[in-house]
Structure 1
């Protein structure tokens, strides 16, 4: 056997084949035992310092609890901003410029409260919750009973691995932060406007207030009101120059009609009138439209919005339409100067029947 043959026998299989091909001994065939497209699988899990050092885990727990606690303080700051800063206070903030102190404080405190809750949750998940990666095969949309059972089991495992039962400091501060953030939304309701209190139940009418003709802006006398006429009046002291004129006239607008006393059917209406002159709110009790159509022969007034019809000779009761109750009557009299005056306010709220729902 030659020395060349001996050297070829001593080469590994792949090198020997390639050597033979190079010397005319045949085609080289290189074989690979490993699949280049095989699933490499998940990398080996590397424990975090919090997994092996309880002191590090405690530091992370305190950090998360601190973020949740600061979120609660930011929420308190949000609420306090409504009390501290007036709505018209302007401050200079570089580089923004002049801004509303209230809006700036509300934005900063609410944003900080929400950010700290999110940051605390992320830090909790990254340092204390389980970080073991789990691969799961896809399954049909309709879950089988065993899949549902597995999901519930996985949920229970996740709850257990989150250590929410063991990490009471995190749990309690998280619940506190989540419970307080909605208070910001409750406080925001203040910006919808001041509480109405009893403003919807009272008007500017009071005992001794003169009835002022809205056309002439002069006090109304009984002889100024003729049978069949319709006159609109306002309470004494309410001028169009007043900043709240529209709000007040929307409640205090009154219409005056003169009816023959023998044609008045309602006893209280007759007692509250002056020589057949009756005063009723002109605000419809359906949705608050102003009433302006009067029929002399029937003593009916009609709301132009939805055709609610009231009989002014019978306590202004509803005889047609969607209105829910009669028009409120204003009790009137005559003062020493011979002018018509109110003897008090309406006994029930004017306008739509919100008050009947109470």
Structure 2
């Protein structure tokens, strides 16, 4: 998978938007030049993608990846944009948007103890939780309140309250320049905010999950309880990317940031949230440069105070 970084800027990005070979390759999906990315992220900052590609099916995604490989185009996959910071200058390549067009859910098989679901990568976690709840399938309640997509959640092994998605994954359907393949959970390695076992260049097209039948009332009660806990400890009604830094082994990033006295620290329109120190928020008019400068200040001051250098959990796109 691409790391999302690109050294192109300014006129070079504009040049790529104009000469991108996808527009003459008769690819059937939706293509747009110089498409703003800020509205597609939860931080609402950053510049445009030189090209935005929106496949409407896995077949279109497969064809698109083959074309990008053929022409050597830089690319990055985007889901719900909940864990992403886009550079102010944007991204000088192709952004592949996986949204509700690739959001189908189907029940494959099951028995009294376990059901297998196939969920396309563009499905939102909220939609998946609602679908599972209506059918009395539990095991994903810990994801409530996380504004991501299923594909992104698998890549990041998203989790909360001591649970993570990787424990529910039975297999991944992957698409790459060479076609499709299915990888069983035994061949994958999930760890804290990390997935290994997927080849560079491959994209998660669908996730196979194992869920257990559970009374609907019990599922609803658990989700309500966890959502209340989340709302009590995290900022509400603000623009953020969720937890900005990974928790270091044996500790919590929020605790380290708070111990360094950084709640409320501000750079331009970016601020360390007062409710939870591991949230860097767009407090109004922030730029990506503001957020990166704040991120670096937090890292330096936490390192000086506690001897730990925090690692961003948020992905950076378009930064040299």
Class of the TM-score when normalised by the shorter of the 2 chains: under 0.3
Structure 1 or 2, whichever has the larger Rg, is 1
TM-score by length of 1: 0.19
Report which structure shows greater RCO (CA 8 Å, sep ≥6).
Answer: 2
Higher strand share: 2
